[in-house]
Amino acid sequence: EAQVTQNPRYLITVTGKKLTVTCSQNMNHEYMSWYRQDPGLGLRQIYYSMNVEVTDKGDVPEGYKVSRKEKRNFPLILESPSPNQTSLYFCASSYGRVVTYNEQFFGPGTRLTVL
């Protein structure tokens, strides 16, 4: 089944404790992206990747890191989480490098709480 998977689905952590949220897709998509969703603010892009080893900042990259060493995986790293990073996170992927013309497939989401 074609899908985007994220792990973990739920995470409660404490300020400053490094964490990684994994994202994997099995559709051979080149474009991958991370979004955070907060009430009243909609979906905001954190980082995106147009291909292996090619990543770029979205609208809210501060406090996050990403890497794209393999085509199928795009982990999101919070080196020193803070309470303002409490949010619902979605990973998405899209065919081709140019998302302008292609739909995005979303993972199920990861609900992160930072205490």
Partner 1 sequence: QQPVQSPQAVILREGEDAVINCSSSKALYSVHWYRQKHGEAPVFLMILLKGGEQKGHEKISASFNEKKQQSSLYLTASQLSYSGTYFCGTVDIRDNYGQNFVFGPGTRLSVLP
From 8-16, 20-28, 48-56, 66-74, give the range in contact with partner 1 by CB under 8 A.
48-56
From residue 49, how far is each of 22, 74, 101 by CA, in Å?
Answer: 14, 8, 16
Of the candidates 41, 82, 83, 84, which one interacts with partner 1 according to CB under 8 A? 41
Q: Nearest 10 degrees: CA dihedral of 25, 31, 36, 40?
A: -120
Q: Is 8 in the site for partner 1 (CB under 8 A)?
A: no
Please select the residue that binds partner 1; options are 5, 67, 102, 113, rule is CB under 8 A: 102
Interface residues with partner 1 (CB under 8 A) are 31, 33, 35, 40-45, 48, 50, 56-59, 90, 97-109
